Amino acid sequence: MALVGRDVTMVGGLAKVTGAVNYAPDLQFPRMLYAKALRSPYPHANILRIDTAKAEKLPGVVAVITQDDLHGLNPYFGPVVDDQPVVATERVRHVGEVVALVAGESREIAEEAVGLIEIDYEELPAVFDILEAIKPDAPVLHAQRKETTAGVHREEFNFQVGGNVCSVYHVEDGDIKKGFLEADEIIENTYTLPPVQHGHIEPHAATAYWEPSGKLVLHTATQNPSGIQEQLAQIFKLPENQVRVIVPLVGGGYGGKTHARLEPALALLARKARRPVQWVLTRDEVFLTGRRYGALVKIKTGFKRDGRILARQVEAFYEIGAYALNGPVNAKTGCYVSSGPYNIPNRSLTTYSVYTNLPPTGPFRGVGVSHVCWAYESEMDDIARRLNVDPVELRLKHLVRERDIFVTGEELISVGVTDCLCRTAEAIGWKGKEEQAVPPEKKNLLRGKGLAVAIKSTTTPTTSSASVRLNADGSAVLLTSSVEIGQGLLTSMAQIVGEELGLPFERVTVSSPDTDVTPYDKSTSSSRTTFHMGQAAQQAARDVKNQLLDVAAKKLEARIEDLELRDGSVSVRGVPDKKMSIAEIFRTRFGSTVGSMFGGYCFKTAGGLDPETGKGKAAAFWFFSACGAEVEVDVETGKVRVLKAVTAADAGHAIHPKQCGLQNEGSLLSGMGSALFEEMVYDNGQPINSNFLEYMLPSLEDHPQEFQSILVETPHPDGPFGAKGVGEAALPPVAPAIGNAIANALGGVRIRDLPIKPDKLVAALQAEKENR
């Protein structure tokens, strides 16, 4: 192929590294105002009184909104449950909840006005721990579950009413009781993961204004313009064509910008102010706005002494914060993969999404899967150690293969997990059983290697639509609502369209989302864009291609099947001189070399799961990946260095191999941060490390001395040119691979609570020494 599979120059790369890109916080509009928020200092409280009179009188203040401004709206919203108010109504449920929003002539004026707002609270009991939150006597955050009608998620859930368990998901196969009875040995452990930050450099930012006609226009850094449009239309009771969402290049998202955050309150403030209003969060506010779920995972596995795993039971509790957002989806996604990419005959898998009085959560790269992967891949190594077998061989004995039936009852297609594991093991220098040998004594620096594999779904069913416009000069534009968030969408989509139309890469451009112009897309999340929007783009380009071939066939007096489109011309195969340029085809069709040809396609994936049984089709395609790590542990200080790391992901067919490799490397660093450094720490619901000085992101000094990205390619029949997504694939196995490497370095001493910080290791080694 001319373009697909090639490392063409990445679109926009030079502009980014030279600082020429305008992101959402850089936008300026005439007469623009600036927003600042009054936020709750309490994790749970009733609002007794709000008085904004002094703030409104401050010179330079144009508008203030509170709960009194919600009349006439649908004041609650959410992608799954309509439980989040535009601004707090009667009660606040987490520290940092927006109680009032001020628009001023400058940020400083707005900030000063916030300090003039008088408010009285009645503090209420709060709950922060997952297991405490599910107790019958825990303070209840939401007694009811009102499912959203916005259709952002068209899925079904088992909602729980009355307590803090928002939703439950369960799937099983075989006979779990029989499986455990037949097992020779059973191991049972509990694993925990703290909340972590997305870490996107660009904060949440948006600018809103209302046109005189009553149309809302919003420029926002979101991964989901169509979903934002839909939710704002619902809140303000508008038809969707009266809400226009425009998205510039986004400075990173990792799931944190998938759903409405700032946009509803900002739109309301702009309507009251009658002027454009911009709201850019500070880093502290970003920490109060979104994060990855904390989780507790209980896992029990029964196996025979010959290495056959007979039964696995998993209970996972996801802490979703004060509002549901994507929590039920996260718990569902984690549920059916919680036994791993393995054939295990007897399984019982249950997940819960649980409200607490912590700030809101949301999708995070590897949504829901990293939590359970940390548990099941740690268990696989512990089982291998107990049986004295090679952990790789144990995995290979159970890994799913092409056309196996998964726990959901569906057939697995494009299954490259075995190749991922084998190639990773080879690259990391795996030596079999000896990797779990007893470490040498009287050495302060110990080394170990570890491996892990993962399986993940993509959100299903979903829809992506695309339109391709071909100009008479042979240039083309793809119109799409998919968002460039740094993953290389502008490059890979241009490759797909250019390949289909036989155009040079530089003759194809890809639009930024503008819901007045670009067609619907579910969202730029779940690593779905290459597969879904790529297929829509390919088919839209094919529509244009067929129009060209139809005109050329008549003019050249040839059959369509004998024609080929390449280098901007249609020619007859085997007769290269018998051809027509695109300009000549336009002249033949339109009478002159002006005008445009349009092609469009709506790609919809079928599927969905029965919420009662957990059976059905969970994924249009599946991600498979592996990670290998070699670490060095200082047994005196507990410090861990990752010396070498290898990630492997099944890309189906890599559209742009270098971009895929960069995604793997980004996944590695994110997973390494979760494994060794990152955690959000709270004191009575208040984040106490809510900046990048105190929150420990991995730095370049932490990057492994050696890193290798492996792309496994098992083409998917429904992907564009066989491609699948890779953005999240490599992240889930990173933490367990590092954890397994540390355990192997220390002769089996294992930390089950992330992150694996030095003090935990020193304490575990001391406890092991005392127990000898």
Q: Give 232-267 pLDDT, tens digit per residue.
A: 999 999 999 999 999 999 999 999 999 999 999 999
At residue 159, the pLDDT reads 87
Q: What is the mean pLDDT of residues 422-431?
A: 98
- 359 backbone dihedrals φ, ψ, rounded to 5°: -60, 160
At residue 772, the pLDDT reads 75
Q: How many CB atoms lie within 10 A of CB 54?
A: 13
Q: What is the mean pLDDT of residues 662-691?
A: 96
Going by C-alpha positions, the residue among 303, 334, 315, 382 that lies closest to residue 751 is 382
State the pLDDT confidence band at 769, using cuts at 50, 70 and 90: confident
For the segment 515-541, what is each residue's pLDDT rounded down to a tens digit?
999 999 999 999 999 999 999 999 999
Give every CB contact of residue 222 below 8 A, 6+ residues apart in sequence.
206, 228, 245, 247, 250, 257, 258, 263, 483
Task: State the Cα–Cα distance between residues 673 and 685, nearest whole angstrom.
Answer: 23
Class of the CATH domain delimited by 462-604: alpha beta
- 151 pLDDT more than 70: no
Percentage of the chain with pLDDT > 90? 95
Query: Would you say 374 and 742 are in contact if contact means Cβ atoms under 8 Å apart?
Result: no
Q: In what helix (H) or strand (E) does residue 192 lie, and over which residues does it extend?
A: strand 185-193
Query: Would you say 575 and 517 are in contact if contact means Cβ atoms under 8 Å apart?
Result: no
The pair of three-digit structure tokens given for residue 15, joined into one six-digit string:
């502009």
Crossing angle between the packed helical segments 657-676 and 734-745, to the nearest 10 degrees: 50
At residue 496, the pLDDT reads 98
What's the CA angle centered on 695, arms 693 and 701, to 5 degrees? 75
At residue 247, the pLDDT reads 98
Name the residue with tokens 């990797």. Answer: 435
3-state secondary structure of 310: strand
- 550 pLDDT more than 70: yes
At residue 150, the pLDDT reads 67
CATH 1.10.3720.10 fits 368-458+618-771, yes or no: no
The reply to whether 368-458+618-771 and 462-604 are identical in fold is yes
Percentage of the chain with pLDDT > 70? 99
Class of the CATH domain delimited by 33-124+198-289: alpha beta
Task: State the Cα–Cα distance between residues 529 and 83, nearest whole angstrom.
Answer: 29
At residue 211, the pLDDT reads 98
3-state secondary structure of 487: coil
State the pLDDT confidence band at 771, using cuts at 50, 70 and 90: confident
Per-residue buried b or exposed e for 3-26, using 16+ beta carbons within 10 Å of the residue's own CB: bbbeebebbbeeeeeeeeeebbbe
Q: What is the mean pLDDT of residues 36-63?
A: 98
How does the average pLDDT of the chain come out, rounded?
Answer: 96
Q: How many CB atoms lie within 10 A of CB 645?
A: 30
Q: What is the mean pLDDT of residues 656-666?
A: 96
- 154 pLDDT more than 60: no
Q: Of 180-184, 564-568, 766-770, which one has max mean pLDDT? A: 180-184
Residue count (the chain): 772
Give every CB contact of residue 426 below 8 A, 6+ residues apart in sequence.
none
For the segment 614-656, what is each residue's pLDDT rounded down to a tens digit?
999 999 999 999 999 999 999 999 999 999 999 999 999 999 9
Task: State the Cα–Cα distance between residues 547 and 148, nearest whole angstrom.
Answer: 41
At residue 152, the pLDDT reads 52
What are 488-492's contacts with CB under 8 Å, separation 24+?
Answer: 488/10, 488/11, 488/656, 488/659, 488/662, 489/524, 489/529, 489/533, 490/11, 490/12, 491/8, 491/9, 491/10, 491/11, 491/656, 491/659, 492/530, 492/534, 492/655, 492/656, 492/659
| Cα separation of the two ends of the chain | 62
Domain boundaries, the chain: 33-124+198-289, 368-458+618-771, 462-604
For the segment 560-608, what is each residue's pLDDT rounded down to a tens digit?
999 999 999 999 999 988 999 999 999 999 999 888 999 999 999 999 9
Query: Would you say 24 and 220 are in contact if contact means Cβ atoms under 8 Å apart?
Result: yes
For the segment 708-750, what is each residue's pLDDT rounded down to a tens digit?
999 999 999 999 999 999 999 999 999 999 999 999 999 999 9
HSE-CB for 235 with a 13 A CA cutoff:
28
